[in-house]
Amino acid sequence: MKHLSIALIPGDGIGPEVVAEGVKILRTIEELDPELSFSFTEFPWGCEYYLKQGKMMDADGIDQLQNFDAIYLGAVGYPGVPDHISLRDLLIKIRRSFDQYVNLRPVSLLDPSFTPLKDKSDKDIDMLVIRENSEGEYAGAGEWLYKGRPEEVVLQTGIFSRKGTERIIRYAYEEAHRSNRTLTSISKGNALNYSMVFWDEVFEEVGKEYPDVETYSYLVDAASLYFVSDPERFEVVVTSNLFGDIVTDIGAGITGGLGLAAGANINPEMKYPSMFEPVHGSAPDIAGKGLANPIAAIWSVSQMMDFFGEEKWGKAVLDTIKGLTVEKENLTPDLGGKATTNEIGDRISEKLQKLI
């Protein structure tokens, strides 16, 4: 019997709406699999909490989360609380404190009708972007000098440590090797003459340990073009924090939008809990109306199952989502349908029960 204790942080806006559907799917899995059980502990953190308590999470919030197996997060951010506070004091704090240095973002086309690209099928768009999630351009290192004066200067420093760069690149080689796919590194060595020249060197160095992995290396500008013109070039992709953030939004754009984009923040050593979440934010424009697409949040449940070695369930959830996408009228409005958030969760749960 395997037990997973899961911390729920539904957060703000549509966060609680989509997390409720993800939990519905986890409960369905628990019912269907006598070898698996989950427990859920909900934390009320987020912007509403901030407006009452003056903080995004409890002062000892990280200690409270420490002993869970996984964290399942909706989204944080709401008008009235500056975004740099809501993101930095909760999301980024968790990613950092728990050394979740791998960000796994699948870019897979579930149905040909979801892509704005001409003549591309699910065979053409099926990649896994592995984004560095702990340092790089988002390290928060820099300086703001002479603020507000004519001689004002700001510095934003990219941090690329040998340890940090090697471990993400090695993780990507392992994944490409394990799944027998090609590996593409996205960098910018022609312009970023320290960080990205170093990145390219490490990519080549670590590659010597994986002679069986076929590799490609593209500059980020060219790679952005290829995401749109020839997405079939990519299988496993490894890239830095900033470039990964940007190219995965292009990835969401070519596969049907934010309602379908999932992400896992992984501490591969399992020394700390890993965190699973949809890529989208709290979407205040549609919150509270049952319009949010819960598929991204449910896809991250599939990632959670994969991470804990329950690939059977990871695949079952993803196959079920795929099966749903052919029923056009039964999708949420972002995909042209009329269904509500809750109805999508119910249907996926029902289909999962029939699949097993």
Q: Which residues bind ligand NAI (CB under 6 A)?
A: 14, 18, 75-78, 83, 86-87, 91, 258-259, 277, 280-286, 292-293, 296, 334
Q: With contact defined as beta carbons under 8 Å apart, do 273 and 7 qualify? A: yes
- Which lies closer to ligand NAI via its Cβ, residue 199 or residue 276? 276
Q: What tokens does 192 get?
A: 């970023």
Shortest distance (Å) from residue 28 CB to ligand NAI: 20
- Which lies closer to ligand NAI via its Cβ, residue 105 or residue 280? 280
Phi, psi for residue 261 in degrees, rounded to 5: -95, 120
Interior/surface letters 235-268, b for 16+ CB within 10 angstroms, e for the rest: bbbbbbbbbbbbbbebbbbbbbbbbbbbbbbbbb
Q: Residues near 26 by Cβ (< 8 Å), separated by ≥ 6?
A: 6, 38, 40, 301
- Which lies closer to ligand NAI via its Cβ, residue 3 or residue 289? 289
101: which DSSP letter? Answer: -
- Using DSSP, how many helices (H) and how many strands (E) does the chain show? 12, 12
Shortest distance (Å) from residue 133 CB to ligand NAI: 12
Report the distance separating Cα 320 and Cα 330, nearest Å: 14
Given phi > 0 = left and psi -120 to 50 = alpha, else beta, which region is 301? Answer: alpha
Shortest distance (Å) from residue 321 CB to ligand NAI: 13
Shortest distance (Å) from residue 16 CB to ligand NAI: 12
Q: What, of Mg ion, ligand NAI, none, does residue 238 touch, CB below 5 to 8 Å by kind? A: none
Q: What, of Mg ion, ligand NAI, none, does residue 239 touch, CB below 5 to 8 Å by kind? A: none
- Which lies closer to Mg ion via its Cβ, residue 32 or residue 242? 242
- Which lies closer to Mg ion via its Cβ, residue 244 or residue 345? 244
Q: What, of ligand NAI, Mg ion, none, does residue 245 touch, CB below 5 to 8 Å by kind? A: Mg ion
Shortest distance (Å) from residue 90 CB to ligand NAI: 8
